[in-house]
A and B are shown apart, each in its own frame.
Chain A
């Protein structure tokens, strides 16, 4: 059986491998954070966002109430953290699927939305509440710096997907590149609303809605141009 050739001495190891493993303290902190988030999500889903108290979160996560505040200032910060995880998961799902690299834009954006929905599905009730919460003027979920950064990160990825779908010379003049990301944000909120109100088994209506509307929307924006 042929042996694996030894790695050349000059070859550099990847950055992740060079990084020292996280210490026990950091690991414990991460575990506590995860426990708090999991406890909060379970309560948001079962009791409702408004009704959940930090005390109840602490009790469920088996930590002191003060510990919760060490990690998150408010319940909304926990919700924002969850949404950051969701966006990170969806971007990784699209980028991690090698077959999608050559797929048309419609399919990539569909994959992005679908992985978000799959991620959110166990917390549907909470998402409904968070949606309403985000509309309140003082809400961190809708109007804070963190929320804006998260939105920008998400839309930057959408922009990336749009641009890689356009021929090099056409990117500057394409209506899709100019208006695609902001239009997509409004569209994404619409999809969430549709999904929340979709009574069909397995949310099949939402899948059909995303498929048809994406095809149509992209086709319309492709036809347009900026002179």
Chain B
């Protein structure tokens, strides 16, 4: 039975959600709704805002990492209308849109020259929204087609201020571990990292090099001389976003192949690169008719401790009983690595997750490798949701889970939208010699 909550705690939680994580973005959203050019637009935004608030208040019943989980939008796939999800996606991580004059001014502030002075051509209107900024098409003087990502000015300070304020107002919640300190730190680091375009350029170069063995994946080249704090210039990748890819009615075979490649890409990153792209937003994937995958926006990347990855290897496709003591021991080791003790409730929730979700989607028996899991049914997503909610209630505070859950929910939601049939265990087994 749900424990009744006092008004103070409830108010604190609301404040935590609106101000702490989405921080100024919600403020911008409110401003945008207020300033919309016409009544219809305003009304639409108001509806979306209400919907988003309803969603987020639901997410508040899940604590700690689940709060962030709740904000990773793909989580709700199959449970909410997609229109609402896409609006929530803009709610989560969008700065106010920049008009062409502001984007140009910000470019000049960062690079000292206007885009017209540096490039052969520059599109004043953006073609995509980026994390806390927007992306413009341009052509270099040498005729190369590029994407110029421009950040909303002063956004880093705004994020840092939000967190400073939130830490102060949420001291009580941190003491009761409803908002675990390490998780808050992880969130702040990740969101600030997303605003650091210099770091993103390093990530792009790292992944471009490390993902080279996967011929079907492309990562854009960085143009350092046209990049600075607040501006990131990259090669413009071919391919279309998921919506457009699906609207061309790709045959089942192609959808299956793309799905399998997405899974391979995820586990290759996790187990071979030991770092992964943790922003599952659909706008960050570009699909080709030949099943190629372009990966953009490396602002949100998680680098893993090799010992943590070794722990994952030991647990993936675990053949025995996952509710038994041996599996619990593996979990304890994983927590001990991070200097944390596995609470009994967390151990139970993790074991339940492994049994009720992973064992079904990733059957450990090699004999079942050729039986693909059918993602057209949304039960897998719902099961994942249910188990992660249960996990969150047990106050699991491993920061790595936060980003892994974000990436994994994005992966499953994409597979569901593709209605792909994917031999999950067969793919994972490639990276687990000896299983």
Contact = CB atoms under 8 A, between A and B. Distances in A.
A202 B110 contact: yes
B35 A103 contact: no
Interface in A137-153: none
Contacts of B108: 118, 202
B101 interface: yes
A220 B229 CA distance: 33
A208 B124 CA distance: 18
Contacts, number: 65
Given A99-B124, A104-B99, A106-B99, A204 B31 contact: no
Contact of B31 (A201, A205, A215): A215
B106 interface: yes
A212 B105 contact: no
B104 to A, nearest CB: 9
A65 interface: no
Contact of B101 (A110, A200, A208, A216): A110
Nearest to B102: A211
Contacts of A103: 99-101
Given A215-B35, A219-B35, A205 B101 contact: no
A111 interface: yes
A110 B154 contact: no
B106 A99 contact: no
Interface in B72-113: 96, 98-102, 105-106, 108-110
B105 A114 contact: yes
A208 B99 contact: no
Contacts of A39: none
B220 interface: no
A203 B105 CA distance: 10
B101 A204 contact: no
Contacts of B98: 211
A124 interface: no
Nearest to B28: A212
Contacts of A216: 31, 35
Given A204-B230, A215-B35, A107 B109 contact: no
Given A202-B109, A208-B153, A110 B35 contact: no
Interface in B154-186: 154-155, 157-158
Interface string A92-103: 000000011001
A114 B229 CA distance: 20
Interface of B: 31, 34-35, 37, 96, 98-102, 105-106, 108-110, 124, 152-155, 157-158, 229-230
7 contacts: A103-B101, A118-B108, A201-B110, A204-B153, A205-B157, A209-B154, A215-B35
Interface of A: 99-100, 103-104, 106-107, 110-111, 114, 118, 200-205, 207-209, 211-212, 215-216, 219
Given A208-B158, A216-B31, A219-B34, 12 more contacts: A99-B124, A103-B99, A103-B101, A110-B101, A204-B230, A205-B154, A207-B109, A207-B153, A208-B152, A209-B154, A211-B96, A216-B35
